[in-house]
Amino acid sequence: MTEVLQLDPECPQHKAIERAAAIIQTGGLVAFPTETVYGLGADAMNETAVRRIFEAKGRPPDNPLIVHIASRGMLDLVANDISEKAERLVKKFWPGPLTLVLPRNSQIAPSVSAGLRTVAVRMPKNEIALGLIRASATPIAAPSANASGRPSPTSASHVLDDLGGRIDMILDGGTTDIGIESTVLDVSSDAPAILRPGWITREMLSEVIGPVDRSASAEELRRSPGTLHRHYSPRARVVLIERGSLKRIEQLCREHLKQGSVGYIGHTPVDIDDESFHYIPLRERADDYGSSIYASLRELDQTSPRVIIVEGISEEGEGAAVMDRLRRAASEVIVND
Ligand code: TXA
Ligand code: MG
């Protein structure tokens, strides 16, 4: 049985947090909101508990987890050799949607790092998450709380759909703000590199620490195995149209409609009146796409479409993070015009 507790996101009820913390302390699994997406948490120092995360999600064991902390002091339990650049980033962006990859402290449960010498760590900007970590008095390992391969959950009901019955508790703090997972930055060596783009952009990072590598090389991707796995996908096939005219999008929708029901997520309104056509309009802005894209993919999935067509947005600023996730969700990418 998975218990769901409703919490006030601004001022979470102590009693509920205490109960959730007791589960973490005894090796159980608790899903909780962060400012990005919901995480599935376990005590990061307890190997048995951490292994349960992999089981519940069906996560490949070579994909390491992010450790969540609530204070700068906790960082020393998790990581070693924190560089001056890393310290500057911590001061500037924590709490917030930035994950730092640092040399691992050997106290951390081995499975957290999936055999790597490094550990990913962040301080979430969410009162429920911070309250849970403090009350548990231990760093909490937490990947996104979806079944492996599915879109990350941005509400408690998404978590329940994927993991109901497989985890002990869900702390429901409503819909998450950003909706896209944190930026992952490797600062374990002298050349900082972004392993996963997110809301903290390369430009924002460069302002604080100087040059940052944009895209991960093949070698760096091997260092972040999660980026190699198929990700963020609904059950339906996703076709991403990176840049398309209204005419092209309509044509594509009509072609697929001949063979079954079609979902469409985009900022270009399409004039198709057909009960097999399901359209979720979004504004052409990274924040609109970010906060709604996973929920929209899940919603359209429920109509069992033959295909979900998604229109892309500009890659500028936070748009890069959105496009990264869309490309990973897609089994076909159309670059048009
Ligand atoms: O916003 C987020 O980051 C959310 C919330 C819950 O905090 N968490 C999240 O976790 O997205 P997950 O497990 O879905 O993604 C973690 C990513 C994966 O791509 C993984 O490969 C990478 O971080 N990662 C974890 N540890 C790493 C390490 N030691 N070195 C390189 N990459 C690492
Ligand atoms: Mg994930």
Q: What are the structural domain ranges in the chain? A: 3-221, 237-335
pLDDT score at 244 = 78
Q: Output the CA torsion 271→274→277→279 (10° steps).
A: 40
In this structure, what token pair is assigned to residue 13? 């009820």
pLDDT score at 215 = 59
Nearest CA among 88, 42, 296 for reference residue 175: 296
Distance 99 CA to ligand 1 centre (A): 8
Distance 120 CA to ligand 1 centre (A): 7
- Which CATH architecture group holds 3-221? Alpha-Beta Complex (3.90)
DSSP letter assigned to residue 265: E
Output phi, psi for 41, to 5 deg.
-100, 145
In this structure, what token pair is assigned to residue 215? 């895209």
Q: Which residues contact 207 (CB under 8 A, 6 or more apart)?
A: none
Question: Peptide bond before 61: cis, by omega within 30 degrees of 0?
Answer: no
Whose C-alpha lies nearest to ligand 1, atom 33? 224
| Beta bridge partner(s), residue 122 | 68
For 291-324, b/e burial (b = at least 16 CB within 10 A) is bbbbbbbbebbeeebebbbbbbbeeeebbbbbbb
237-335 maps to CATH 2.60.40.10: no
In this structure, what token pair is assigned to residue 180? 């896209």
pLDDT score at 259 = 95
Contact between residue 166 and residue 134 where contact means Cβ atoms under 8 Å apart = no
Please, what is the angle between helix 14-25 and helix 127-136, to 10°?
A: 50
What is the chain's pLDDT, residue by residue, as a tens digit (337 residues)?
999 999 999 999 999 999 999 999 999 999 999 999 999 999 999 999 999 999 999 999 999 999 999 999 999 999 999 999 999 999 999 999 999 999 999 999 999 999 999 999 999 999 999 999 999 999 999 999 999 999 999 999 999 999 999 999 999 999 999 999 999 999 999 899 999 999 999 999 999 999 998 755 545 555 555 555 556 788 899 999 998 788 999 999 999 999 999 999 999 999 999 999 999 999 999 999 999 999 999 999 999 999 999 999 999 999 999 999 999 999 999 986 5
d(CA 303, CA 295): 13
pLDDT score at 335 = 87
d(CA 21, CA 228): 33
- Alpha helices by DSSP H, listed for 6-152, are 14-25, 47-57, 72-78, 84-93, 110-113, 127-136
Pocket of ligand 1 (CB under 6 A): 34, 36-37, 39, 63-66, 97, 99, 101, 113, 116, 118-120, 124, 142-144, 181-182, 184, 195-196, 223-227
Helix (H) or strand (E) segment spanning residue 176: none
pLDDT score at 235 = 86
